[in-house]
Amino acid sequence: MTTSVQNFQNVQFQGLPQDVQDGGHLAPAPQNQGTNSLSSQLYDIASYLGNGGLQLASQGLNGGLQLVNGGIQLVSNGINSGVQMASNGINSGIQLASDGAQLVSDGINSGVQMVSDGINSGVQLVSDGAQLVSNGVSSGVQMIGNGLSSGKQIAVNQGTKAFESGFGTTSALLSGALRQLPYTDSQSSLVGRLPNNPDFNGAIANPNGLSAQFTAVSNQNNLSGHSLQMLENAVTGGNSLHRHGQQIQLTPQEFHAALLRGAHFVVEDGGTLTDNLQQQGGFTARGSSHYKGSQDQQYGLDLPNHLGHLLIGKDLQGHSFFQLESHGTGNAQQSLSEKISSVLGHTQAYLQHVGSSLSYVQIGPQGCIEGSEKDNNHVIVR
């Protein structure tokens, strides 16, 4: 049976030598054999098988190389991916480390800032505390100073009030008896003659000279000037004036004369004028024989240009009163000799006040006048 080479694709090569089955190299075809001889055919078979084996080996080798190349590529890709992942990890780690360092830096800065703020707050608190202590010490010193001054002033005031109260009580008891003495005329008094006729209308007649003395001080831009202006405005500012229950008229010049003679004025204002005068400052707390039952403090102010001493206060109804006296008391600024002179002058004026012939005579810095509230001869401003 003959078989062509083309038919060997499906031939099983069992029983042939192993090198033939494996597609090994066969010996060269025998020489001088016809193409159709068995040996020639076997050679063709062997040659085909050899070529097939080589082809298979070549393909296997190429496939193997292809697999190796694929493997190498996979390894290379894996290495590259690993390197990339490692690089990414390193970069991420570096970024995390950088972020962590920034957080640490921010934390340190925040802590330093908090410490700095705390130190500044503490320093401010210490400074505030020192200021409070300083203020407290200053306030305490001021309070001590004020207390000493107040205590000194209270002692002076109480001494003055005790003197005037005791003397006033004694004089009041003697007043009735003194009125019975044989005075020769209206200018007679227990301690000598009065400086002028005390009759109210006579005392304010020809007032120009006294008015000039008043305006010389009232025009001054100081406490004395302002105080006299306030008195004049209260009396001559369109209010009605009354004496002995009758309405009277006073020109500004007659008001000036009556005031300098010592006339006593009451302004029915609920104490406003006295409060406004005292609130200017400069007045000295003192007492007097006027309105003994009043609980309100009275005040005095020494005036220049021989205008004597201004006494202000409130009557038993709480209304303002004022008058000029020849001598005041209670001025803490006076020297010892000035205080003695004032006390003696005030004592003489008081004896003339209670020891005159007809009535309580007011003794002013420039004469006298029948103008006391004690016998209803004063002027009421409504």
The owner of tokens 């705390």 is 118
pTM higher than 0.85, yes or no? no
Helix, strand, or coil here: 186? coil
What CA–CA distance (Å, rounded) separates 374 from 362?
Answer: 10
Q: Where are the domains of the chain?
A: 15-26+36-158, 179-381
Q: Which two tokens stand for residue 114?
A: 């908090």
% helix, strand, coil for the chain, step of 5: 55, 10, 30
pLDDT in tens, the chain (382 residues): 444 444 444 444 455 455 544 544 444 444 544 555 666 666 666 676 667 666 755 676 676 667 657 666 765 776 676 557 557 766 766 685 577 658 546 766 765 575 467 657 665 754 676 575 467 656 664 754 566 455 545 544 555 555 555 555 555 555 555 555 555 567 777 777 888 989 999 999 999 999 999 999 999 999 999 999 999 999 998 889 999 999 999 999 999 999 999 999 999 999 999 999 999 999 999 988 899 889 999 999 999 999 999 999 999 999 999 999 987 765 556 566 665 665 666 576 667 666 565 678 999 999 999 999 999 999 999 9
- Who contacts 228 (Cβ-Cβ below 8 Å, separation ≥6)? 214, 217, 218, 303
